[in-house]
């Protein structure tokens, strides 16, 4: 996603965080139960994660990418119970 701020493009970087696969996901279990109650039992499991959008004023270079990786692992996720599963930059195929 790109917008403009003055002469510089604004770029949005998306960071996705999920609970570690080996841990119980009570929110996911609750959603799966709700799906079953409304007749959507074909879905056997649900995991609930987090999506963060970081906006950068200007180009995304290697320094920005390194900062995003650091922020994702040290601030946006709890490495004991969560994994950073994706960092997506503008122009990448989803």
Give 31-48 as a 3 state SS string.
HHHHHHHCCCCCCCCCCC
Give the whole-angstrom CA distance, residue 23 versus residue 43.
19
Identify the CATH number of the domain defined by range 2-88: 3.30.1280.10
With bands split at pLDDT 50, 70 and 90, how would you rate the model's confidence at 80? Answer: very high
Domains of the chain, residue spans: 2-88
pLDDT at position 3 is 53
In this structure, what token pair is assigned to residue 68? 């995003």
pLDDT tens digit sequence for 44-59 = 899 999 999 999 998 8
């Amino acid at each position: 996603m790109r917008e403009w701020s003055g002469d510089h493009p604004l770029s949005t970087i998306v960071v996705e965080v999920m609970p570690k696969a080996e841990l119980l996901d009570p929110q996911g279990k609750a959603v799966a139960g709700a799906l079953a109650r409304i007749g959507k039992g074909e879905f056997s499991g649900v995991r609930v994660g987090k999506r963060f959008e970081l906006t950068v004023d200007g180009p995304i270079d290697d320094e920005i990418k390194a900062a995003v990786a650091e922020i994702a692992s040290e601030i946006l996720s709890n490495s004991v119970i969560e994994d950073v599963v994706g960092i997506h930059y503008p122009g990448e195929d989803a």
